[in-house]
Chain A
C-alpha cells in the first residue's frame, strides 16, 4: 500500500507541474494577477507530493519491503539502518526521485521567497521551473518507476553494491544534486528574463544568492565525492579525470564564472547578455552531467549497463531545454540593452579575465570528455582521454587564472591601477618568493615547477589576506582594526575566504602530487616496511564478522624514530549476498598529511600484499573546499543579498526588532 501511495503522489505531482507550467505563464501574458498567483501554492504543493512519494520509497526501504522490485535489487535485511536509508538513492530510480525532490524543493523555496519580485518575472520563472519538473516526473514515471511491485516477493534482497555501503553515499549525492539542481533556479530566471526581454541589476541581485547556494553545495558535493573515491577505491587517488567527475566539474566552473559575472552585472549593470548565457550554460551542463551518468554512454568507473530508452529520454529532455533556451537566447539577447563602460584594467576587466579563463577551461574539459564519444560514433574507433590530456591542457590554462586571483579584488571599478595593485601585493610576492626558494633548496631534485606552484598557492593565500588587511588597516592602525573588520561587508570577507580556500586546495594538490611516496610490498607477519620516515610493522591478519559481511583485518603498528605513533587496520571485506569484496583503506592523519594503507590479495603463507602511501598535506585539498564553502556562506549572509535588498523589507525589520 505504501508503495502505491508513493506512486500515486508522484502522478499527482506531475499533474500539479502541468498546472504550474501553464496557468501562471498564461496569467503573465494576460497580466492577470489571479492566474499568476496560482504558481506559489501549486509549487509548494508539488514539493509536498514529491516529498510524500520520497517518504514512501524510504519507508519501503527501511521496512525491507521485498515486494518492491527496487528494494529487492538494492537492499538486504541485515544491512545497517543508515544504508537502508541511503540505498534509497543508491540506484538509478531512487536517485532520480531524489533529483526531482530537490528540484521541487527549489521550486517551493523560490515561490516562498519571491513575494517582492515583479509578478510577471516570478510567474514566468516558476512556470519554467515547473516545466523542468514536468519533464523529470514523466521520465521517472515512464522509464524508471521505483515503485514497481514483484508478483512473487523473494525472501531476501540482493543487497546494495558493497562499494556504496559507506557513509559517503549519505552525503555526496544529496549535496551534488543540491548543486546541480540549484542551477535550475538561475536557468528559470534567465529564461523568464529572456521571455520578458528586460533585465537589470536587480535581476542579478536576486539571482546571485541562488547561484551562490548552488555553487556552495556543488563545491562540497564534489569534494565529498573526491574524498570518498580516495579512501574507498584503495588507489590513493583523489581525482581521476573520469567523465563522471568532469560532468560535475563543468557546471562548477560555469557556476563559478556566473558568480563573478553576476557581481559585475549587479554593481555596474554590465555583462548582462553574458551573465544570462552563463546562467543557461550552468544548468545545461548540469543536465549534460545527468545524461552522461544516467545513460551509461561513457566508459567510466561509475557507468553501468543500463536501459537505452532512458538514455534517449534524457537526451530528449536535454535537447528540448538546452536547445530551447539557447534559441530563445539567440532570438532575444540582441534586444537586451548593454550598459556600464569600463577600461580593460579594472575590476570589471579582471572579472572578464576570470570568466574568459573559467569558460575556456570548462570548454576544454567538455572537449576531452565528449571527444571519445564523438569519435566512436563517427569512426567506431575506441579511445580513452585520461589524466595526461587534462593535465596538459587544464593545468596550463589554470596558471594565468590562479595568478590573477589576488589582483581582482584590489582593482577599482571602471578604471583600475595595475601597478598600484602590484605594489600592494608586494608583501605577498616577497613571501611567495621566499617560499619558492626554500622549497627549491629543500626539494631541488624535483625541478622548479613544483616549488613555483607552491609559491603560486602561497601568493593566492597571502593575496586574499592582503585585501582584508588593507581594508581593516590592521598594520597601520591596529587599534581600530577590529571595529573596521566588523564593519566590512560580509561579501568582502566571503571573497577573501573563498580565495584563501583556492590557495589552500592548490597547496594540497601540488604537495600531494609531487612529494608523496608510495610503496607496494608483500609482507609476512612481523615484517617492517619503511616509508617517508615511518616504520610500518605488519602484526598479522585476523578475520572478523560484520553485520552483513566478513572481513580480514590486517594490523600494522606505526613507529616514527622507534616511538609507536599508532595502529592502522586496513581490511578486505567480502559480502556474501553479492559474492563481492571491497577494500577498506586505513588512514592516519599526521597533521594535515596522511598515511594510507590498502590491502591486496592475501597469500597462502600468511603474507599479504599491501600498498602504502605517504600523502603530504593531502587533507588541505578538501579543507580548501570547505574554506571555499565557508566563503560562500559568508557572502550569502551579506545583507545586500537578502530578499528585499537594497531596501530592507518589512519582515527583516520586524525580525531585527525582536
Chain B
C-alpha cells in the first residue's frame, strides 16, 4: 500500500464517522429537543396535546393541592395560567409564588401533565426562562434573584 492510499483510507474513514455522527445529531435534534413555553405561549401557539414541551412560570399562590402522590397546581406568567398535574415527589424548593419549570405534555382538556418538575438549587434564584417569560408579560420585579444570597452555587 502506498502512502497515498493509506492517507485516503484514513481520510475516508474520518469522513464516514463524521457523516454518521452528523446524521445521528440531526436525527436526534429533530426528535428529542424540547421547546420552552410560558403559559401565554402555550395558548398563543396553539400547542397540540401530546407534544412534549417545557412549561415554566410562577406557581400560582393558593392553587397547590395534593392527595397522596398526586399534586395539582397552576403555573402562571401573570397573564395566562395553566393547570398542571404531577405524580411523584416535588423538589425541596417547590413553593407557591416561586418560579418552576415543568416538562411533559398537554392532555385533551388543555391541562398539563408533567412527568418532571425541575428543582433549583437556591431559594433566591429564578430560572432564566421563567424570568424572561415574566419580563415579557411585564410582571418582573427586580428583587427576584437579585438578593445577595444568590451567590451560592455548585462549582
- B65 interface residue (CB < 8 Å to A): no
Q: Within the complex, which residue of B18, B29, B129, B150 is in contact with A385, where a contact is CB–CB below 8 Å?
A: B29
Question: Size band of the A side of the interface?
Answer: 35 or more
Which residues of B (132-155) have their CB < 8 Å from a CB of A? 132, 145-146, 148-155
Please indicate which of the listed interface residues A306, A372, A385, A389 has the most CB atoms of chain B within 10 Å of its own CB: A389
Determine the chain B residues whose CB is within 8 A of the CB of A341 once the complex forms.
3, 6
Which residues of A (276-327) have their CB < 8 Å from a CB of B? 293, 296, 299, 301-306
- B128 interface residue (CB < 8 Å to A): yes
**Contact across chains for B25 and A364 when beta carbons are under 8 A apart:** yes
- A528 interface residue (CB < 8 Å to B): no
**Contact across chains for B89 and A600 when beta carbons are under 8 A apart:** yes
A380 to chain B, nearest CB (A): 9
Contact A520 B69, CB 8 Å, known A73-B151, A161-B153, A304-B122: yes
B64 to chain A, nearest CB (A): 11
- Looking at the complex, which of A45-53, A89-97, A480-488 is the stretch in contact with chain B? A89-97
Q: How far is the CA of A392 from the CA of B33 in the complex (A)?
A: 12
**Contact across chains for B6 and A163 when beta carbons are under 8 A apart:** no
Determine the chain B residues whose CB is within 8 A of the CB of A579 once the complex forms.
123
**Contact across chains for A90 and B69 when beta carbons are under 8 A apart:** no
Contact A164 B31, CB 8 Å, known A393-B25, A522-B68, A580-B123: no
Q: How far is the CA of A304 from the CA of B146 in the complex (A)?
A: 11
Q: How far is the CA of A583 from the CA of B90 in the complex (A)?
A: 11
Determine the chain A residues whose CB is within 8 A of the CB of B6 once the complex forms.
341-344
B140 to chain A, nearest CB (A): 13
- B43 interface residue (CB < 8 Å to A): no
**Contact across chains for A90 and B152 when beta carbons are under 8 A apart:** yes
Mask of A388-415 contacts with B, CB within 8 angstroms, 1/0: 1100110011000000000000000000
Which residues of B (1-33) have their CB < 8 Å from a CB of A? 1, 3, 6, 9-10, 13-14, 17-18, 20-21, 24-25, 27-29, 31-33
- A514 interface residue (CB < 8 Å to B): no
A402 to chain B, nearest CB (A): 15
Q: Within the complex, which residue of B1, B24, B151 is in contact with A392, where a contact is CB–CB below 8 Å?
A: B24
Determine the chain B residues whose CB is within 8 A of the CB of A73 once the complex forms.
148-149, 151-152
**Contact across chains for A382 and B1 when beta carbons are under 8 A apart:** no
Determine the chain B residues whose CB is within 8 A of the CB of A583 once the complex forms.
92
- A593 interface residue (CB < 8 Å to B): no
- A141 interface residue (CB < 8 Å to B): no
**Contact across chains for B69 and A389 when beta carbons are under 8 A apart:** no
A378 to chain B, nearest CB (A): 15
Q: Within the complex, which residue of B35, B90, B118 is in contact with A383, where a contact is CB–CB below 8 Å?
A: B35
**Contact across chains for B31 and A92 when beta carbons are under 8 A apart:** no
**Contact across chains for A600 and B151 when beta carbons are under 8 A apart:** no
- A582 interface residue (CB < 8 Å to B): yes
- B119 interface residue (CB < 8 Å to A): yes
**Contact across chains for B31 and A299 when beta carbons are under 8 A apart:** no
Determine the chain A residues whose CB is within 8 A of the CB of B154 once the complex forms.
161, 163-164, 244, 301-302
**Contact across chains for A302 and B25 when beta carbons are under 8 A apart:** no
**Contact across chains for B28 and A393 when beta carbons are under 8 A apart:** yes
Q: How far is the CA of A380 from the CA of B111 in the complex (A)?
A: 26
Q: Decide if the interface of chain A is mainly helix, strand, loop or mixed.
A: mixed
**Contact across chains for B90 and A601 when beta carbons are under 8 A apart:** yes
B46 to chain A, nearest CB (A): 16
Determine the chain B residues whose CB is within 8 A of the CB of A343 once the complex forms.
1, 6
Q: Within the complex, which residue of B54, B93, B155 is in contact with A173, where a contact is CB–CB below 8 Å?
A: B155
A173 nearest CB neighbor, chain B only:
B155
**Contact across chains for B92 and A581 when beta carbons are under 8 A apart:** yes
- A384 interface residue (CB < 8 Å to B): yes
Determine the chain A residues whose CB is within 8 A of the CB of B125 once the complex forms.
304-305
Q: How far is the CA of A386 from the CA of B126 in the complex (A)?
A: 20
Q: Within the complex, which residue of A301, A364, A572, A600 is in contact with B121, where a contact is CB–CB below 8 Å?
A: A301
B17 to chain A, nearest CB (A): 5
Determine the chain B residues whose CB is within 8 A of the CB of A640 once the complex forms.
none
Q: How far is the CA of A341 from the CA of B5 in the complex (A)?
A: 12
- B110 interface residue (CB < 8 Å to A): no
- A371 interface residue (CB < 8 Å to B): yes
Contact A360 B119, CB 8 Å, known A305-B125, A383-B36, A598-B89: no
**Contact across chains for B69 and A293 when beta carbons are under 8 A apart:** no
**Contact across chains for B121 and A304 when beta carbons are under 8 A apart:** yes
- B88 interface residue (CB < 8 Å to A): yes
Determine the chain B residues whose CB is within 8 A of the CB of A578 once the complex forms.
123, 149
B96 to chain A, nearest CB (A): 13
**Contact across chains for B17 and A360 when beta carbons are under 8 A apart:** yes
- B79 interface residue (CB < 8 Å to A): no
- A243 interface residue (CB < 8 Å to B): no
Mask of B102-137 contacts with A, CB within 8 angstroms, 1/0: 010000000000000011111111111100100000
Contact A303 B68, CB 8 Å, known A343-B6, A392-B32: no
Determine the chain B residues whose CB is within 8 A of the CB of A173 once the complex forms.
155
Determine the chain A residues whose CB is within 8 A of the CB of B90 once the complex forms.
600-601
Q: Within the complex, which residue of B27, B69, B119, B148 is in contact with A522, where a contact is CB–CB below 8 Å?
A: B69
Which residues of A (173-228) have their CB < 8 Å from a CB of B? 173, 176
**Contact across chains for A384 and B54 when beta carbons are under 8 A apart:** yes
Q: Within the complex, which residue of B92, B118, B151 is in contact with A304, where a contact is CB–CB below 8 Å?
A: B151
**Contact across chains for A299 and B129 when beta carbons are under 8 A apart:** yes
- A521 interface residue (CB < 8 Å to B): yes
Q: Within the complex, which residue of B10, B35, B66, B122 is in contact with A381, where a contact is CB–CB below 8 Å?
A: B35
A286 to chain B, nearest CB (A): 14
A359 to chain B, nearest CB (A): 9
Q: How far is the CA of A15 from the CA of B121 in the complex (A)?
A: 38
Which residues of A (567-589) have their CB < 8 Å from a CB of B? 572, 578-583
**Contact across chains for B69 and A302 when beta carbons are under 8 A apart:** no
Q: How far is the CA of A299 from the CA of B17 in the complex (A)?
A: 30
B150 to chain A, nearest CB (A): 5
13 A-B pairs with CB atoms under 8 Å apart are A91-B152, A92-B153, A161-B154, A302-B154, A304-B121, A306-B153, A352-B10, A386-B32, A388-B31, A520-B69, A599-B89, A600-B88, A601-B89
Excluding A343-B1, A520-B89, A609-B68, 4 further A-B contacts by CB distance (< 8 Å) are A164-B154, A384-B34, A385-B29, A578-B149
- Nearest 7 A-B pairs (CB), nearest first? A161-B152, A388-B32, A600-B89, A382-B36, A392-B28, A95-B155, A522-B68
